[in-house]
Structure 1
Amino acid sequence: MSLWNYLEQIPTPLRQNYREMRLILGDQLNIRHSWFEDTEQVLFVMFEMRQETDYVRHHQQKVAAFFAAMRAFADVVGTMADILYVRLDSPKNQQNLVENLAKTAKALPQLEKFCFQQPDEYRLAEQLNKLSIAKTNEVVSSEHFLVDLDQLEQFLPTGKSPLLENFYRSIRRATGYLMDGAEPLGGQWNFDQDNRHALPASETVPTPVTFSNNVEHITQMLQANHVEMLGKLEPEALNWPISRRQSRELLQHFVRHALPKFGLYQDAMSTRGYLLFHSRLSFSLNTKMITPREVVETAIAEFESNPQAISLAQIEGFVRQIIGWREFVRLIYWREMPAYKEHNFFAAKRDLPQYYWTAETKMNCLQKSIQQSLDYSYAHHIQRLMVTGNFALIAGIDPNQVDAWYLGIYADAIEWVELPNTRGMSQFADGGLIATKPYASSGNYINKMSNYCQSCYYDVKLKSGPKSCPFNSLYWHFLNRHRDQLAANPRMGLMYRQWDKRPAEEQDAILQQADTWLVNLNEL
């Protein structure tokens, strides 16, 4: 069993022996996949490529974590089977998936079959489905998700409006997770109303588990090849899990130390920590180093063994994120692509402000959320949705630019999960396919759920004037300019009635202030 970095290193007799080539993509690091059970006359292949580093500008930690995890995975595969792993700096690397596969196939004279796992991204599926390099092409399941794509019509029928709650309940019934026979445990499906608390000053925040993976060899390679990236990275101490063992360690730390209060504070934001009670398991999940089943079952086992510490509301909130939302947005992505990527319901076209790349803004909530993203390549879902996403929405930023930012800056961002969350949930660019209303808000929500406003240059209580919170006037400006599109939405009626009750002079002051902010968007 051997690992080669160059095709020419494989002895000629072996090349003539291979009958099957199996591709492993960078987000398919599942060592428990069934195709590792039979590896006779099989050559596995993995590629680091400019195709993947360059389609958006990625965070340094994201690129380093992917390549480090891929290399660690290839080493494990190499103990069981033959694998060709082509590094980014290999002179033989074509830097393109199709060309690399074609070159490898050409060097295998007895090749009869090319096999690949179902890609999670539409663009990669398009490349692979059009490829013909062997007598037989076979696509197999990635054996990761709870719902396979051939079940898409069963769970999200074409022509029907998808509802997360219905989908979530069907998955609970199918898996038996948190069920008491045919009924939900505790007689209630959803405890979301119990899980919307701000973080009190008296609450102790768990110390995050950290990793110190040395990736200097990878960062030196990236720099030598002039890969353009963003964000911060300590090359000798990458703090992302790059193996199944580290991913399991992160999972165990979460269920023991953070799960007991996860649901309670899952929407909270604070300068006291970047992680709070969140798991940070998304990178491990999205690269398939661990599976949603083992994550959920480990969490439920901890809940069942320690019900005094972990309430039903806490475990349900976590399970819903994994088996509900994560699976739901994946099926939305595959049902709606490729048209989904072009949706722009509000015809938004402003450029993304420069401080999204630098964190140099006087708005404290944005400054803290963006700086955290640049420092850690991570922000939790409320920071993404109700701070950076909310501001882009009410400021009318081009969703293409918003997509590119989210896809690049976060280590866990792969298009199948990023696109529905950003273009759909955050920017409402799909016109309400995912969200029943735009997730737009004034500064009041941020003030309620965080301590950001306490030390901000702007005053969250003011709606107009040079010191007023930009979120306030921009929110009402957003509602006013999109009234024709939103007034009939039953969840928006209350806000429009509140707006209509304001005196005309107050409305004018708010709208004029918002116009000033929009003209000077990069100066806020």
Structure 2
Amino acid sequence: MAIFSSLSDIPKKKRRQFKEVRLILGDQLNPKHSWFKQNDAVLYVMFEMQQETNYVRHHQQKVLAFFATMREFANALASLADVLYLQLGCADNKHSLTENLNSVLQLTQPQKFSYQEPDEYRLVKQLEEFEVSENTAIECCSTEHFLISLQHLDSYLPANKAPLMETFYRRVRKETGYLMADEKPIGGKWNYDHDNRNKLPDKVSVPAPLAFENDASSIADMLAKADIKMIGTATADKLDWPITREQSLKLLRNFMQERLPLFGQYQDAMSKRCYLLFHSRLSFSLNTKMLNPREVVEAAIEAYERDPDNITLAQVEGFIRQIIGWREFVRLIYWREMPSYKEKNFFAHKNPLPKFYWNADTKMNCVQHAVSQSLETAYAHHIQRLMITGNFGLLAGVHPDEMDAWYLGIYIDAIEWVELPNTRGMSQFADGGLLATKPYISSGNYINKMSTYCKDCYYKVSAKTGARSCPFNSLYWHFLHTHRGKLANNPRMGMMYRQWDKQDTEAQEAILSQAQHYLADIDSL
């Protein structure tokens, strides 16, 4: 078996021996896939393409990690099968998925072309419209990764019903048996979210993140030569992300030992003490399929059952809900609603993204930290994304397209199937409430409650007006005032509108004036 780095590397007498060509995309790096049980007369193909580096401006670490992981996977697969791997700089690389496939199929003339279900709508359309010779059959198969097959989408999320994550989550719990006993949830409760909203006390120590030092400097040189436009920073010779299954399993074990015991309790906390806090950092390994969601969930349950005094039920339930609940749920939402979902703009927002999302140059301590951390690490946990950068973008009336492009580019785990529902739906409420029951907005009070950001901020979290009043405060009330016609009848918004109505006219006008002042000069905040 061999790995070929160009079409011409494949010996002429071998080209017509391949009966099947199998495509592996950059997020389909599942070494346990059933494909690999039979590799005779099979050629696997993988491509590094500008089609993928350029559809948004990605973080440097994201591009480095994807290409490094793909290369490691291809090299491992080459011990079992023949692999054609076209690097970004290869002269044969046309940087288009379908054009590259045409070149391979014309050269090999296989009886069959196979691919796994892409997780992104744009790639599905590319492959559905891809035409092959009448002598070549096409087969699309499962990635064998997710718990719920897309063939069962209508059963889980019927088109005529409003989707509810909690209902979906309970069904998956019942079907998998995870944290269940006699068809009832262990502990008597389905959801321990109420126990998982604590601020991080100073006395609680946070373990140092497990460090990786993968050398991706040759990839960085290649990207520079190709003039690929990227954002963020990277230390290419010490890339701090798992790029193999072995490293991913090491990270999984580390999370179970050092972070799961306090994960649920502090999963919503925000702090400058450590960018990771008690989060797992497993999303990149999961979304590239180096890890399977079942093995991750079962490892967490095993850790809980082995040490229930140290890892409480609330910790492990909060973790598995993110994987078998939210992760699976947003994927089905994506496929049920695309392609129209990408056009949703419930509030008709049209403002540009503030410049400080690209350089962290802002006096708002919370935004400055969340953005600078994202630029430095290609990572932020879900509350930073939802209640800091997402919250501010929504209050500032940023167009959902601009928010989507930023989130899709800056985070290493951002692939459209998971990014789009989380951003356009959950964060920006641009779908009008399909995914979330209310907009996730807040004033500075929530941020102060869940973080230490406000203590040394230039702005005063207690002030609604004035030169140094917290921008989140006036923008929050301005948002509610502006969109009252669309939100006043939402049962979860009534209390906020009653609070607004209790304020006298003069106070309201002062708050709205302050917000308009901030919006007019938003890049200077």
Q: Structure 2 length as normaliser, TM-score?
A: 0.99
- Output one character per residue of 1:255-291: Cα deviation in whole Å (capped at 9) or x when no partner: 1110001000000000101000000000000000000
- Output one character per residue of 1:334-353: Cα deviation in whole Å (capped at 9) or x when no partner: 00000000000000000000
1:290 aligns with 2:291: yes
Equivalent residue letter for 2:511: I
**Secondary structure of the structure 2 residue equivalent to 1:92:** coil
* Rounded Cα–Cα distance in structure 2 between residues aligned with 1:375 and 1:108: 44
Residue in structure 1 matched with residue 521 of structure 2 by the alignment = 520
Residue in structure 2 matched with residue 29 of structure 1 by the alignment = 29
**Secondary structure of the structure 1 residue equivalent to 2:45:** strand
Residue in structure 1 matched with residue 54 of structure 2 by the alignment = 54
* Rounded Cα–Cα distance in structure 2 between residues aligned with 1:475 and 1:260: 35
Alignment of structure 1 residues 411-490 onto 2, 5 Å: 411-490=412-491
Residue in structure 1 matched with residue 378 of structure 2 by the alignment = 377
* Rounded Cα–Cα distance in structure 2 between residues aligned with 1:302 and 1:184: 18
Equivalent residue letter for 1:69: T
Which has the higher mean CA deviation after the structures are superposed, 134-143 or 388-397?
A: 134-143
**Secondary structure of the structure 1 residue equivalent to 2:236:** coil
Alignment of structure 1 residues 266-281 onto 2, 5 Å: 266-281=267-282
Matched residues, percent identical?
60
Residue in structure 2 matched with residue 218 of structure 1 by the alignment = 219
How many Å apart are 1:14 and its aligned residue? Answer: 1.1
1:117 aligns with 2:96: no
Residue in structure 2 matched with residue 164 of structure 1 by the alignment = 165
Residue in structure 1 matched with residue 508 of structure 2 by the alignment = 507
Residue in structure 1 matched with residue 330 of structure 2 by the alignment = 329
Residue in structure 1 matched with residue 177 of structure 2 by the alignment = 176
Equivalent residue letter for 1:364: N
How many Å apart are 1:131 and its aligned residue? Answer: 1.1
* Rounded Cα–Cα distance in structure 2 between residues aligned with 1:38 and 1:133: 23
**Secondary structure of the structure 2 residue equivalent to 1:17:** coil
* Rounded Cα–Cα distance in structure 2 between residues aligned with 1:39 and 1:301: 34
* Rounded Cα–Cα distance in structure 1 between residues aligned with 2:407 and 2:182: 40
- Output one character per residue of 1:321-362: Cα deviation in whole Å (capped at 9) or x when no partner: 000000000000000000000000000000000000000000
* Rounded Cα–Cα distance in structure 1 between residues aligned with 2:328 and 2:69: 23
How many residues are paired up? 523
- Output one character per residue of 1:418-475: Cα deviation in whole Å (capped at 9) or x when no partner: 0000000000000000000000100100000000000100000000011000000000
* Rounded Cα–Cα distance in structure 2 between residues aligned with 1:325 and 1:84: 36
Alignment of structure 1 residues 271-420 onto 2, 5 Å: 271-420=272-421
Equivalent residue letter for 2:411: Y
Which has the higher mean CA deviation after the structures are superposed, 6-15 or 59-68?
A: 6-15
**Secondary structure of the structure 2 residue equivalent to 1:46:** strand
Residue in structure 1 matched with residue 257 of structure 2 by the alignment = 256
Residue in structure 2 matched with residue 186 of structure 1 by the alignment = 187
Equivalent residue letter for 1:132: E
Q: Which runs of 5+ in 1 are unaligned?
A: none
> RMSD of aligned C-alpha atoms?
0.5
Equivalent residue letter for 1:256: Q
Equivalent residue letter for 2:119: D
Residue in structure 1 matched with residue 88 of structure 2 by the alignment = 88
**Secondary structure of the structure 2 residue equivalent to 1:43:** strand
Q: Which runs of 5+ in 2 are unaligned?
A: none
Which has the higher mean CA deviation after the structures are superposed, 151-160 or 369-378?
A: 151-160
Q: 4+ runs of 1 displaced by more than 3 Å? A: none
* Rounded Cα–Cα distance in structure 2 between residues aligned with 1:46 and 1:458: 50
Residue in structure 2 matched with residue 140 of structure 1 by the alignment = 141
* Rounded Cα–Cα distance in structure 2 between residues aligned with 1:404 and 1:60: 15
**Secondary structure of the structure 2 residue equivalent to 1:230:** coil
**Secondary structure of the structure 1 residue equivalent to 2:44:** strand
* Rounded Cα–Cα distance in structure 2 between residues aligned with 1:26 and 1:16: 26
Residue in structure 1 matched with residue 100 of structure 2 by the alignment = 100
How many Å apart are 1:112 and its aligned residue? Answer: 1.1
Residue in structure 1 matched with residue 235 of structure 2 by the alignment = 234
1:77 aligns with 2:55: no
How many Å apart are 1:133 and its aligned residue? Answer: 1.8
- Output one character per residue of 1:93-149: Cα deviation in whole Å (capped at 9) or x when no partner: 00000000001100013x111100000000000001111224211000000000010
